[in-house]
Structure 1
Amino acid sequence: MNGCCLFTRSNLSLRFAEIDAGRHQPSNPIPINRYNVLLTRNDKCYLSGDGTTLNEQGALKPTADGTDNVLVKQGSFSYTSPEGIPISLTYVADELGFRPEGSHLPVAPAVPPINF
C-alpha cells in the first residue's frame, strides 16, 4: 500500500514539474545575431535578435601582496523588459565584489558623516 502511494506521489510530482517547466519556455527561440569571444583577453560580446546586448572585458590583476591574481571584469548589458522598458546595466566585478549600476536599480541614501 505504501509503495503504491509513493509511486502515485512521485508520478504526480513529475507531472507537475513537467507542467511548470513548460509554462516558462519561450514559444519562439531568439536568435543570436553576433557572438564574439577573445579568449586571450577574456573578452566577449553578443547581440541577440530581440536587441539584447552584452559586452564584457576581463583581465588578471595581481593581488596587493603579489602572491596571486584576481580576475577583474567590467561590462554592460541591455535589454527590453516585458513591460517595454529599456534596461541598461554596467558593472565591475573585482576583489571588492560585484558592483552594478543602472537607472532601474535602487540607490541607497547617502550616509551622513558621524561627528565625534
Structure 2
Amino acid sequence: MKCVLLIALLSISMCLAAPADEVQIVKQESQVLADGYNFSYETSDGSKQEQQATLKKLGPEEDALQVSGSYTYVGDDGQTYTVTYTANENGFQPQGAHIPHV
C-alpha cells in the first residue's frame, strides 16, 4: 500500500512539474486492416501526420507495403512546412516546397 501511495504521489508531482508548453495530442485515429493500415494525429503545436498503407503483390510469393502520407510541422523560423511522401519498392520519395528537387 505504501508503495502504491508513493508511486501515486510521484506521478502527481511529475504532472505538476511538467512545463506549461508541453505538446499534447489533440486528435488521433488509427485502423489496422488485414491488407494495410492507416493512422493520423494532430498535436497542440500544429504538427500533423497521416499515413495509409496497403499490401501490394510484387510476385507470386512476395508482398510489400505501399505507403503514402504527409506530415506538417512548424519550423524554428515560424513557418509551416508540409512533406508528402510515398514509400514502396522504389524507396522513400518525399516532396515539399522546401525540399530541393534532384
TM-score range, shorter chain: 0.7 to 0.9
How high is the TM-score relative to the length of structure 2?
Answer: 0.75
How high is the TM-score relative to the length of structure 1?
Answer: 0.66
Provide, for residues 60-103 of structure 1, a one-character-per-residue CA deviation record: whole Å limited to 9, x for no partner.
Answer: 1001x221100110000111101111100000000100000000
2:97 alignment partner AA: S
Corresponding residue number in structure 2 for 1:28? 21
Corresponding residue number in structure 2 for 1:37? 30
Deviation, structure 1 residue 27: 7.3
2:96 is aligned with 1:67: no
More strand, by proportion = 2
1:52 alignment partner AA: S
Residues of 1 paired with 2:45 and 2:88: CA distance? 30
Percent of aligned pairs sharing the same letter = 28
2:82 alignment partner AA: S
2:93 is aligned with 1:96: no
- Structure 1: 5+ residue stretches without partners: 1-25, 109-116
Which of these residues, 44, 53, 71, is aligned with residue 77 of structure 1?
Answer: 71
Corresponding residue number in structure 2 for 1:54? 49
Paired residue total: 82
- Structure 2: 5+ residue stretches without partners: 1-18
Provide, for residues 26-69 of structure 1, a one-character-per-residue CA deviation record: whole Å limited to 9, x for no partner.
Answer: 87320000111101141000010011110100011001x22110
